[in-house]
Chains A and B, each alone.
Chain A
Amino acid sequence: MGFQVKIVGDFCNIRCAYCRNRDFDRTDKAVMSVETLEKFIAFLNTVPQPEVRASWHGGEPLLAGKDFFKHIVRIEKEYPEKIWRNAVQTNATLIDEGWAKFFVENNFHIGVSIDGNERVHNIDRINSAGRGTYKNAMRGVNILRKNGIHPGVICTVTKKTVNYAEEIFLGLVNSGFKSISFNVFYNTASENREDEYALTENEWFNFLKEVFELWYTLNDSTIRVRELDAILAWTVGRSSNECSFRGSCSQWFAVDYTGDIYPCERFGRSVHFGSIQTLENYQNLVASSNLLNWRNEIRILPNKCKSCKFLSLCYNGCCSHRRADSEGIPMYTYCESRIELFDYIQRKINPLIIGDKNVK
Chain B
Amino acid sequence: MLNSSLVMEENIGFASLVLPSLALQGAFERISRIPVSACWEISDWNDGTGGHEDYTDFTDAGD
Contact = CB atoms under 8 A, between A and B. Distances in A.
A73 interface: no
A232 B31 contact: yes
Contacts of B1: 309, 346, 350
A109 B34 contact: no
Interface in A209-238: 215-216, 218-224, 226, 228-229, 232-238
B63 A237 contact: no
Interface stretch (A97-105, A196-204, A247-255, A330-338): A247-255
B34 A238 contact: yes
B23 A223 contact: yes
A242 B34 CA distance: 11
B55 A312 contact: no
A250 B59 contact: no
A132 interface: no
Contacts, number: 164
Contacts of A236: 4, 7, 12, 14, 28, 31
B48 A1 contact: yes
- Number of contact residues on B: which range applies? 35 or more
A224 B30 contact: yes
Contacts of A89: 58, 63
A81 to B, nearest CB: 17
B17 A242 contact: no
A246 B40 contact: yes
Most chain A CB inside 10 Å of its own CB: which residue of B2, B22, B39? B2
A144 interface: no
A106 interface: no
Contacts of B2: 235, 346, 350, 353-354
Contact of B52 (A216, A218, A251, A309): A251
Interface string A261-301: 00011100000000000000000001000000001000100
Nearest to B38: A241
B52 A237 contact: no
Interface string B14-34: 100101111111111111001
A252 B28 contact: no
Nearest to B40: A239
B14 to A, nearest CB: 4
A359 to B, nearest CB: 8
Contacts of A295: 45, 48
B19 A352 contact: yes
A229 B42 contact: no
Interface of A: 1-2, 4, 48-49, 53, 55, 57, 85, 87, 89, 109, 111, 152, 154, 179, 181, 183, 215-216, 218-224, 226, 228-229, 232-239, 241-244, 246, 248, 250-252, 264-266, 286, 295, 299, 309, 311-312, 315, 318, 346, 349-350, 352-354
14 contacts: A55-B58, A152-B56, A183-B63, A216-B21, A223-B23, A233-B31, A239-B38, A241-B34, A250-B50, A295-B45, A299-B45, A309-B1, A353-B7, A353-B19
